[in-house]
Amino acid sequence: MKYSLALAALLGLTLAPAAYAQISCSEVRKIIADAEDDFDGITGAKIEEDFYKATYNLTGAQECTVDNEFDSIYSCGYQYGPYSTAYSAWSSRLAEIGSCLSGWKVTGVPADAKADDDGYRTLTGSLYEGSGDYEDLEWAVVLEEHTDTSGTHYHVWVELAYYWF
């Protein structure tokens, strides 16, 4: 009995970090529908010129925004400490978004060779390009590293761009 309880506890600790609140296909459909109106229905308080806080966050996101500078982009960020946790979360987000976008063309996002002047570096990502009724839409799921004076941490970004050009 003691062995069974110890094994169950070990399995629980081993599996716990991989459990994340999942983004659902109904959330993905909602954001796609909001894109058709330049995200007006979920655009909140102005942060700066053409950049707003979103009033709707994808599950588990620390913050979501709407950027209307050139195109309309809805973006949600997730921050993690260790790389292994961030990579696992990125993989989960990628699988969740991808499962909702069957038939969309998938391409990879190349890694940056070095960080930009602000310490950000793209590590990996995927783009989902729509077609037909969705030809002006593109989802992105990206893992990025950020290094500053406080150390290194990782971001996962989930974005939907509406290219209305």
Query: What residue numbers bound the domain in which 103 lies?
Result: 2-162
Cα 44 from Cα 2, distance rounded (Å): 54
pTM: 0.84
Report the candidate in 45, 73, 46, 75 with the shortest Cα–Cα distance to residue 58: 75
Tokens of 16: 């716990």
Matching residue, tokens 């949600």: 76
Pairing state between β 105-109 and 120-129 = antiparallel
Cα 165 to chain center, whole Å?
24
Cα 90 to chain center, whole Å?
7
Report the candidate in 89, 97, 96, 122 with the shortest Cα–Cα distance to residue 18: 89
The count of domains in the chain is: 1
Per-residue pLDDT band at 122 (split at 50, 70, 90): very high
Per-residue pLDDT band at 107 (split at 50, 70, 90): very high
Q: What is the tens place of the pLDDT at every residue in 29-79?
A: 999 999 999 999 999 999 999 999 999 999 999 999 999 988 999 999 999
Matching residue, tokens 């990782």: 154
Q: What is the DSSP letter of 132?
A: G
Specify whether the CB–CB gap between 59 and 22 falls below 8 A: yes
Cα 27 from Cα 135, distance rounded (Å): 19
Q: What is the tens place of the pLDDT at every residue in 4-25?
A: 333 233 333 333 344 557 999 9
Cα 47 from Cα 90, distance rounded (Å): 26
